Structure 1
Amino acid sequence: MKIAAGIFAVVLVLLGFNSMYVVNEGESALVLQFGRIVRNGDQPGLHFKLPLLQQVVHLDSRILTLDAQPERYFTSEKKSVNVDFYVKWRIADNATYYRATGGNELQAVQRLTPIVKDALRHEFNARTLQELISGGRKDITASVRKQTDAIARKNLGIAVVDVRIKRIDLPDEVSESVYKRMRAERLQLANELRSTGQQLAETIQADADKQGQIIRADADRDAAKIRGEGDAQAAAIYAQAYGQDPEFFAFYRSLQAYKKAFADGKGVLILKPDSEFLRYFSNPAPARH
């Protein structure tokens, strides 16, 4: 009797342990009974199930990475490119995911990969090589993510979080032709910029020359006007002085002539003694009226 009771107690303990299970952080769980899902989406923590009748399937709830092998695609011009890419994905629907993959991550990757490759092929086939080189990657990856996410959610219970292109490699012959075309385009652009700069410089120089001529003409006109006004004022002053004392004015003008004639100290004048030019030397005192 005691032996039977002990065995019964051991069985109860085993059944108790078998009825408990723990879901860790970064996981969720499904509970199956006879192969059917009876409970879905258990979160981290301690949970219970029917011992022996039910089993637990643990699923990774973190964002996972699909790092595929480089694939060869053709552009709309039938030029080949080698594309290296990766995909970020997570389980969005535990039940759909389990039915599609049996909870096997490797099988999920094997089924998701062709979906992504088909979407990439469609995008590359619709674009020229120039469009790919000039920076169309964001448009491609955004479109691929949208397409694959819709298909993967429906068929696999997987959400495609992100699609990234790591690199696009061109075959050698394509690389050479692309390099030559890009070099020609850069040279053409450089020539256009130099030509535009030369034209702009010539325009600026011509405008500066024109403005300089205008300024010089204005300055010459103003200077001539000022000289004319000065000469007129001087003439008026001379005329006024001459009118007041003609003899003194004649004497002053003679002094100015003497000063100019003998300014360098080397001048020699040959004149008659009674020359009008020397009359103030012989009679320095002007007559007074």
Structure 2
Amino acid sequence: MNTKSLVAVLLAVFGLVLISNSLFIIKETERAVMLRFGEVVRPDIEPGLHVKIPFVNSVRVFDGRVLTVDARPERYLTLEKKAVVVDSFAKWKVSDVAKYYTATSGDENRAQALLAQRINNGLRNEVAVRTLHEVVSGQRDELMLSLTNSLNEVANAELGVEVVDVRVKQIDLPPAVSESVFLRMNAEREKEARELRSQGSELAEGIRASADREVTILKAGAYRDAELIRGDGDAEAASIYSTAFNQDSEFYSFTRSLRAYQDAFRSKGDIILVEPDSDFFKYLKNPGGAN
């Protein structure tokens, strides 16, 4: 390769390097600033293809999408001086690229740390003027809206970012307070359970007594009815016996004696001591029954 060819190759390479350092592309999801020896000369470069002076200008590109900063849970005091632990997060994006670069040197982690600090300060101020009930449920949405507006003003003025939204993930009581609250709630539930058991026992005793009384009344009524029926049956049986006896008293006495003999001599081991001339043997001596 001769000298002219080598020079041509070197010039071509230099030209490619010069062109590659002169052109840059900014995407739709990015924000960028152009610097000249560290000084901002173009604060907000639009998306597209752009040209810069090689080795003089430099471009810093930042994420232009909505980002999330997850603040560390912090302990705050309410208006009644009750401690709560609030875990929150915020949505933010770069609004003023030049100010953002000046305040954070373009470091996203530094921006999130500064923003998290301001979120904690804002939450502390908002929680301090509200009661525990208002923080937890009553004015929670109002608290978030107020915090977003105030934080957006500060963040935009100091960091060049826009706070889109601030939300609370959870609100807890400190461990010591949670334990005491749990014990108090447990004691209240046990007291309520004892009252309910006492009321249940009282109702059960009343129901049991009523059932026992009803059973006694039913048994007494049934016994009365049974005795009346039994009495009527006995009276009717006596009447039938009397009628039959009056029709043939001798035959009635004979059948009664036979039944008595059958019952008396049912077992061979039975011994009966009676006088021979007793009326018991009247029909054995004389089947006619005459004395």
| Aligned residue in 2 for 1:157 | 162
Contact 1:65–1:86 (CA<8 Å) still a contact in 2? no
Q: Which of 39, 53, 57 pairs up with 2:61?
A: 57
Mark the CA change 1:63 to 1:207 in structure 2 (over 3 Å): closer, same or farther. farther
Structure 2 counterpart of 1:252: 255
1:1-289 superposed matches below 5 A = 10-11=14-15, 13-21=17-25, 28-32=29-33, 34-39=41-46, 47-52=48-53, 55-59=59-63, 61=65, 63-68=67-72, 70-74=74-78, 76=80, 78-79=81-82, 81=83, 83=85, 85-91=86-92, 93-95=93-95, 99=99, 104-105=107-108, 106-119=110-123, 122-123=126-127, 126-127=130-131, 144-152=143-151, 155=156, 156-160=161-165, 162-165=167-170, 167-169=172-174, 178=181, 181-182=184-185, 184-255=187-258, 265=270, 268=273, 273=277, 275=279, 279-285=282-288
**Residue 22 (structure 1) shift:** 6.7
Task: Please list every run of 5 or more consecutive structure 1 residues that lacks an aligned counterpart in the other structure.
Answer: none
Deviation at 1:195, TM superposition (A): 1.4
The separation in 1 between residues aligned to 2:119 and 2:228, in whole angstroms, is 91
Asked if the contact 1:20–1:49 (Cα under 8 Å) also holds between the matched residues in 2, the reply is: yes
Segments of 5+ residues of structure 2 without an aligned counterpart are 35-40
SS in 2 for 1:14: helix
CA RMSD of aligned residues (A): 4.6
What code does the residue aligned with 1:51 have?
Answer: K
Native 8 Å contact 2:24 2:49 kept in 1: yes
How far is the alpha carbon of 1:200 from its aligned partner?
3.1
Taking structure 1 as reference, are residues 150 and 207 closer, same or farther at Cα in structure 2, changes over 3 Å only?
A: farther
Cα offset, 1:29, TM superposition: 0.7
Contact 2:89 2:166 in 1 (8 A): yes
Partner SS state of residue 88, structure 2: strand
Greater Rg by CA:
2
SS of structure 1 residue aligned to 2:173: strand
| Equivalent AA in structure 2 for residue 14 of structure 1 | L
Amino acid at match of 1:148: L
Given the two structures, how large is their TM-score scaled by the length of structure 2?
0.63
TM-score relative to the length of structure 1: 0.63
Structure 1 CA distance for aligned equivalents of residues 260 and 128 of structure 2 = 100
8 Å CA contact 2:33–2:97 kept in 1: the answer is no
Post-superposition shift, 1:72? 4.0
